[in-house]
Amino acid sequence: MKSLTLRSPAKINLFLEVLGKRPDGYHEIETVFQPINIFDHLTIKEKSRQARAPELTITTDQPGLPTGPANLVYQAAALFKKNYRIKQGLDIFIKKRIPTGAGLGGGSSNAATTLMGLNKLWKLGLSQLELSHLGQKLGADVPFFIYRQTALAKRRGELIFPLALTRKFHYLVIWPGFSCPTKKIYGNLTLGLTNKIHDVSIFLNVLRKGRPDQIDSCLFNRLAPTVFRLYPELKNLARYVKSNISPGVSVSGSGSSIFCCLSSGKEVKKTARQLRRSHRSALVFETTNYLP
């Protein structure tokens, strides 16, 4: 039976502006996605044709993670099989490293990796655009993970404009040990008439120049004040990072992870050691942007 193992990267949002509420109830956003070198691993294996087990089986090393239809990997595999009329059964094992509910896109990445993996496993030759359209049915962030490169995203986040960036950037990513439900954050978001819309093109110009200090000072997330208001302990963690590590600290997605961009891997290692001593319940990642 054929099988393969694939890496499934996390992401951070370097920029996130909420432009308003859409007629469908979702929010119109502009965001800059950055894939980073924190990975889950998916092993996709065909079932024996003689096996009487369920057609699709998901297992994982993370206790409490759904393995049935509530899991995005399950949904992605089922959608792919139905769309291309494939009856072959599958066993998929998810080795988790990306925390769930952390704003790092682990579930969406796993779904996209499943689509890409099945395309490769069964040699269908589908393009990134075709896989992206399929991924939209699973979630707004899924198309980004098909392209796996720094990208500007619009609408709900599913309209992707890849950016040609080749420089390595060093990030310190901190997960506080709890999640921030996306629906709760958006449900408590207040967009006042006096809010000045941040122009994403200004941030993109800074990003293209490639200076970590400038990027760090320009990080922006419209959801951050709401996240910090609802989770004061996360606000305190961000305040510590801002005072002791970097003046530029931001929230990824709707939280709960926060991050900053530092000048070198050496600086990331030094500050990671400091954080692990001062905040023992937090999970600290030393990482860089993912370059395909």
Tell me which of 2, 11, 154, 269 is the catalytic residue: 11
Tell me which of 40, 81, 91, 141 is the catalytic residue: 141
Return the closest-CA partner of residue 228 out of 218, 217, 216, 240.
240
Q: Are strands 283-288 and 170-175 parallel, antiparallel or unpaired?
A: antiparallel
Cβ of 65: how many Cβ atoms within 10 Å? 17
Q: Please state the three-class secondary structure of 205-265 as a single string.
A: HHHHHCCHHHHHHHCEECCHHHHHHHCHHHHHHHHHHHHHCCCCCEECCCCCCEEEEECCH
Residue 5, helix vs strand vs coil? strand
User: Would you call 141 a catalytic residue per the annotation?
Assistant: yes
Residues in Cβ contact with 200 at an 8 Å cutoff, skipping those fewer than 6 apart: 15, 17, 30, 32, 152
Q: Token pair of 116, please?
A: 């890409």
Q: Which amino acid is at 226?
A: T
Angle (nearest 5°) at CA 235 between 233 and 239: 115
Q: Token pair of 244, please?
A: 């002791």
- In DSSP terms, 15 is beta-bridged to 32, 220
User: Would you call 11 a catalytic residue per the annotation?
Assistant: yes
Give the whole-angstrom CA distance, residue 97 versus residue 43.
14
Give the largest Cα separation in the chain, rounded.
Answer: 64
Catalytic residues, which ones? Answer: 11, 141
